[in-house]
Amino acid sequence: MSELVLINVSGRDKPGLTSEITGIMGQYDVRILDIGQAVIHDHLTWGILVEIPNEKDAPQVIRDLLFRLHSLDLQVHFAPVSEDEYLQWAAGRNRACYIVTLLSRDIKAEQIARVSAITVEHGLNIDNISRLSARPSLNPADNRIACVEFSVRGTPGNLESLRSDFLRIAGEMNVDIAFQEDTIFRRNRRLVVFDMDSTLIEAEVIDELALEAGVGPQVAEITERAMQGELDFSASFAERLALLKGLDESVLVAIAARLKLTEGAEHLIRSLKALGYRTAILSGGFTYFAQHLQAKLGIDYVYANHLEIEDGKVTGRVSGTIVDGQRKAELLREIAEKEGVSPEQVIAVGDGANDLPMLSQAGLGIAFRAKPLVKESARHSISTLGLDAILYLIGFRESETGQALKS
């Protein structure tokens, strides 16, 4: 008869420790059923579940390990595991696995406590917790972004209720929380499509044009209602455009020069390009400004509205098909097909109601600093951090993206 034993080791990490421990076990033909370790501030926690083929060897295996580990000033605990316990545990590994990502400027104990409490309430168990971001400064004011990832397993009774609970506590604690199924696609996305205004850039370009035309308040009010989903995008777009009639085209150059990129945008795009991703701008704004960003950031595709100019003046019209919400969704599918990727491999990022169709088409749809309606309707949202937080949602560690940028 064989014997199953769970071994837990803790203490200061030492080079070659895993080799030493498994080397001792190897003398008795011990079988490894599960193994894992974590090192925090040079302190090791190491666990291994083993099957000792001959139960008569078990006392000697334990004595040999105990002697060596104590000589290394390490603490060790041995616990017998019954066959029934093992089979029950092994069956549980087949349950669905999800990833919960906690994003904040600085991680606090309360945040982890409340996130983990929600998982328990919904029948999930935490398998693993990892920090994806770099180690923080001891001065909280110096920390721009922090990320902790929870791998959880189980079958939640109501996914919508779970997401609603995460959204609620995220708002209460001013953090971002994403909940995703851990599928093969999660770290295999290949295409990222962005809205432009209030997503890649901080401004709404049409509002900037309106300020130059002296109709700022009127246009800004229509823009806000359209982004909230209160007005049809195409109708409101035509109404705003008409107010720009007669604006001198030289204004476009000045506005393009002062457009400010959103926090984290440049780092995100550079990282995505280094990692082999394709990128696109799908904007209800204007090609002139989208192409300006394309040249600046190296975006692969640009689709936006062509602003008509005659005799050096804006006509108040656009030519061609208006890029509204449905058109964005169509373009997402067209680009994905051209690139040979499935919709599951696409990430879409936007802030307005006209972005919801493309967010729903993508494998990972992210409402970025979005209006309440959009935030509640999208499956994922980022409200407190910059665009580069998206790298953590697809599972990359800061060290990995840093390495990609250096290569």
Q: Where are the chain's structural domains?
A: 3-91, 95-181, 191-406
* pLDDT tens digits, 233-248: 888 888 999 999 999 9
Identify the pLDDT of residue 360.
Answer: 96
**pLDDT above 90 for 9:** yes
Q: Is the pLDDT of residue 406 over 80?
A: no
Which one of the listed residues 197, 207, 351, 355 is annotated catalytic?
A: 197
Q: Do residues 71 and 97 make contact, with C-beta atoms less than 8 angstroms apart?
A: no
Q: Is 253 helix (H, G, I), strand (E, B) or coil?
A: helix
Whether the CB-CB separation of 70 and 79 falls below 8 Å is answered with no
* Interatomic CA distance for residues 167 and 377, integer angstroms: 11
For the stretch 373-380, contacts whose Cβ atoms lie closer than 8 Å and that sit 24 or more positions apart, written own/partner, are: 373/228, 373/229, 374/227, 374/229, 374/350, 375/167, 376/167, 379/163, 380/178, 380/179, 380/180
- The residues pairing with 103 across neighbouring beta strands, listed in sequence order, are 147, 176
Domain spanning 3-91: CATH 3.40.190.10: no
Query: Domain 95-181 is of which CATH architecture?
Result: 2-Layer Sandwich (3.30)
The terminus-to-terminus CA distance of the chain in angstroms comes to: 53
Region 137-157 average pLDDT: 90
Query: Look-up: residue for tokens 């910059």?
Result: 386
Is the pLDDT assigned to residue 230 strictly greater than 90?
Answer: no
The residue-averaged pLDDT of 61-84 equals 95
Contacts of 227-236 with C-beta under 8 Å, sequence gap 24+, read: 227/198, 227/351, 227/352, 227/353, 227/354, 227/371, 227/374, 228/353, 228/371, 228/372, 228/373, 229/352, 229/353, 229/371, 229/373, 229/374, 233/284, 233/324, 233/325, 233/353, 233/354, 234/322, 234/324
| Residue range 111-134: mean pLDDT, rounded | 95
Concatenated DSSP letters of 77-91: EEEEE-HHHHHHHHH
Backbone φ and ψ for 5, nearest 5 degrees, come out as -140, 135
User: What does the pLDDT look like over 123-135, one tens digit per residue?
Assistant: 999 999 999 999 8
* Pairing outcome for strands 75-81 and 3-12: antiparallel
Q: Is-above-0.85 flag for pTM?
A: yes
Catalytic, 195? Answer: yes
Please say if 42 is a catalytic residue.
Answer: no
Helical axes 250-258 vs 205-213, angle rounded to 10°? 130
CB 123 within 8 A of CB 155: yes
Mean pLDDT of the chain: 93
Is residue 61 pLDDT above 70, yes or no? yes
Q: What would the mean pLDDT of 250-276 be, rounded to a whole number?
A: 95
Q: Kindly name the residue from 165, 176, 195, 388 that is annotated as catalytic.
A: 195
pLDDT higher than 90, residue 140: no
Report which secondary-structure segment, H or E, holds 367.
Answer: strand 364-368
Token pair belonging to 2:
């064989």
Reduced to 3 states, what is the DSSP secondary structure of residue 371?
coil
Residues contacting residue 316 through CB under 8 Å, at least 6 positions apart: 241, 242, 243, 244, 245, 246, 308
Q: What is the DSSP letter of 261?
A: B
- Do residues 24 and 68 touch, judged by C-beta distance below 8 A? yes
Same fold, 3-91 and 95-181: yes
Distance of CA 394 to the CA centre of its chain: 5
Residue 168 has pLDDT above 70, yes or no: yes
Collapse the DSSP code of 141 into the 3-class scheme (helix H, G, I; strand E, B; otherwise coil) and give the result.
helix
How large is the average pLDDT for residues 243-271?
95
pLDDT at 198 over 80: yes
Q: Is CATH 3.40.50.1000 what the domain over 191-406 is classified as, yes or no?
A: yes
